[in-house]
Chain A
């Protein structure tokens, strides 16, 4: 945590450094791994996921480039949300969850025993399907991620809260009432608050699990715009049921079906000229 904190103050972002801070004790462990492939931010290899006897993910390997938006699409129950939640290990709380294979972020295997979940989740933020602000003030919601890291400098917290709210395009709407309850905001504002809360921790990856499915069209388009802007600084994965949404905002699209990755390519390619018949059937609305 220290090293990350210091590198931030100097204004230099060094993700390799950051990720090695995730390791519990020996940062030199990272060097044992293969040399860092600068091309990819996230890599998975032969990933299988089981819930008891049920196999939710089958042999999925995927490489995701930094500062890109990747959409996961597929019919309900195809495993796309499960796969998304592997990247910040949120499935660990599910009973009978078992995972095989490798998942690497900045070339560090995040399913090693030495990984500290708290550090991992600082690096990999998440926005959920339903807006889930804490029943506290707007300010407290955004400051929470910083406070649990032990940051107590009021000025620093206030600055980061303001910055995150500006980034999430919410600052102008709430700057006068930061002490109001977050629950008094509209659904769309709540979801942007949840994004601000995630940004305040300054992750490098943001996972979004159907972030607009509970929102009206106007709030949805605001959030889509926001996601598109965030691409400049963050690697984003978004699970969506909305095909147009995937086509509008993502650079890459992965189509999942029955726990398998059927096709993964540039979004343009997937939506205009998919390789596989099943992908074509799904995006043209013939099933799903």
Chain B
């Protein structure tokens, strides 16, 4: 076997090793989703979605935690979007590049890595106790907003960085002020990237459990929340609660609820991918 053949063999070996590694993750995911579908798919019907929780497995539905998740999602989006995009714009367009901004930058990256339970404890102290919001939807949404703030800030900054300077120059040269340039040129050109970041961050928030348990989301709430100060439950907590019961009926319920939760996150990620592709096309 000469050198060329040896190199070809190595090439082939690495290719198959790579295929194997890629498949591990995929196969596990397929097995997991398959198992869930087998357990849960037969359980999903309209009644399952619109029924209130019950002591009997076959009578329980996910209406209250689903509505809780949607409330949390919407409120978190409303709170986190303006705050984090404004922060990202400030850091990228206005802040002078000095030690203070470097320090801010490092700390925002660090915040993105803080375990979510810590945010839960912070939310419990600040929102639930000091601001006296109680174990409400609003307290939960504020806590999750803190959690995803650094993620959206980083995404916003990356998207703004990708806007070529020639566009800013052109705008300034026509007599635009800084704000006009940001509002009319920089933000529209980076909106796809920012939206992608926001949606990915929100789809993370919708799956969060730990911080909401700490803040006081309940496993059993008789009614869907009517306002931001009502008590609430969310899908992941409902799933956790059902899974920990011994009866097979509740295990099936949990599988069905997981399908709904996965569906929500897949749809959100799909929207994010759509925006990203559209945005990339626009900038080219």
Contact = CB atoms under 8 A, between A and B. Distances in A.
B172 interface: yes
Nearest to A132: B166
A86 B170 CA distance: 16
A64 B283 CA distance: 39
Contacts of B189: 134-135
Interface in A140-171: 144-145, 147-149
Contacts of B172: 90, 93, 117, 121
Interface core residue of A117, A120, A135 (most chain B CB under 10 Å):
A135
B178 to A, nearest CB: 10
Interface stretch (A122-130, A248-256, A272-280): A122-130
A80 interface: no
A198 B184 CA distance: 17
B169 interface: yes
A233 interface: no
A194 interface: yes
Contact of A134 (B97, B170, B175, B177): B170
A88 interface: yes
A125 B174 CA distance: 6
B170 A183 contact: no
Contacts of A136: 188
Nearest to B97: A95
Contacts of B188: 135-136
Interface residues of B, number: 21
A142 B175 CA distance: 13
Interface residues of A, number: 29
A132 B169 contact: yes
A119 interface: yes
Contacts of B171: 134, 144, 148
A201 B174 CA distance: 7
Contacts of B166: 128, 130, 132
Interface of B: 97, 164, 166-167, 169-177, 180, 184-185, 188-189, 282-284
26 contacts: A88-B173, A90-B173, A93-B172, A117-B175, A121-B173, A125-B173, A125-B174, A126-B173, A128-B170, A132-B166, A132-B169, A132-B170, A134-B189, A135-B167, A135-B188, A135-B282, A136-B188, A145-B175, A145-B176, A148-B171, A148-B177, A149-B175, A183-B284, A197-B170, A198-B174, A201-B175
Given A133-B170, A201-B174, 15 more contacts: A118-B176, A118-B177, A121-B173, A121-B174, A128-B169, A130-B166, A132-B164, A135-B188, A136-B188, A144-B176, A148-B171, A148-B180, A149-B175, A198-B173, A198-B174
8 residue pairs, one from A and one from B, having the closest CB atoms: A132-B166, A145-B174, A121-B175, A126-B173, A122-B175, A118-B175, A148-B176, A132-B170
